[in-house]
């Protein structure tokens, strides 16, 4: 598991690139800057929403992040979540459209393992009981 040295949220003053979805972080948008150690030191910038989605992917076990998550792993996983959980999906959504839809879902739902017989058969969205403000 990568060691997080620091993590802070900023408001972008210039255009940055998100290390998860590879999209632009536009001026005025919130983004997260993490400093991680995985053998070496990494600086990781991401949209706030991509950080939220990545947390869901890791917490649920959907992605195993022993050596950190690469942008390929992330993008493949969010495409899969989008196809599975978003109603009326667009035919060819952009990463921005995908992550914005998933961000809305994760405001009220958590990604959970579905294991009715004790082993993981898939993943589902479970509505959160206590609402985070
Ligand atoms: Zn992003």
Residue 132 counted as domain residue: no
Residue 133 counted as domain residue: no
**What pLDDT sits at residue 80?**
95
Asked whether the predicted pLDDT for residue 93 surpasses 60, the reply is: yes
Give every strand in the sheet of 30-38, ordered side by side.
Answer: 3-11, 30-38, 40-47
Are 12 and 24 in contact by the 8 Å Cβ rule? The answer is no
Quote the ligand 1 centre to 50 CA distance (angstroms): 5
Residue 123 counted as domain residue: yes
Number of domains making up the chain: 1
Quote the ligand 1 centre to 119 CA distance (angstroms): 31
Name the residue range of residue 122's domain: 3-127
The percent of residues above 70 in pLDDT, for the chain, comes to: 97
Quote the ligand 1 centre to 23 CA distance (angstroms): 6
d(CA 106, CA 20): 17
Task: Give the mean model confidence (pLDDT) for residues 111-120.
Answer: 93
Task: Give the mean model confidence (pLDDT) for residues 71-92.
Answer: 94
Question: 106: closest CA among 132, 84, 80?
Answer: 132
What is the separation of C-alpha 48 from the centre of its chain, rounded to a whole number of angstroms? 9
Asked whether the predicted pLDDT for residue 94 surpasses 70, the reply is: yes
Quote the ligand 1 centre to 18 CA distance (angstroms): 5
Q: What is the pTM of this model?
A: 0.87
């Amino acid at each position: 598991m990568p060691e997080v040295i620091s993590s802070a949220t900023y408001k972008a003053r210039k255009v940055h690139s998100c290390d998860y979805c590879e999209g632009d972080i536009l001026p005025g948008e919130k983004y997260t800057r993490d400093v991680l150690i995985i053998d070496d030191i990494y600086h990781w910038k991401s949209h706030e929403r991509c950080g939220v989605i990545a947390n869901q992917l890791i917490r649920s076990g959907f992605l195993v992040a022993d050596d950190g998550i690469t942008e390929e792993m992330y993008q493949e996983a969010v495409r899969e979540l989008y196809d599975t959980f978003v109603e009326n999906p667009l035919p060819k959504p952009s990463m921005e459209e995908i992550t914005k839809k998933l961000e809305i879902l994760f405001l009220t739902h958590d990604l959970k393992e579905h294991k009715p017989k004790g082993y993981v058969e898939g993943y589902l969205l479970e509505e959160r009981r206590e609402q985070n403000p």
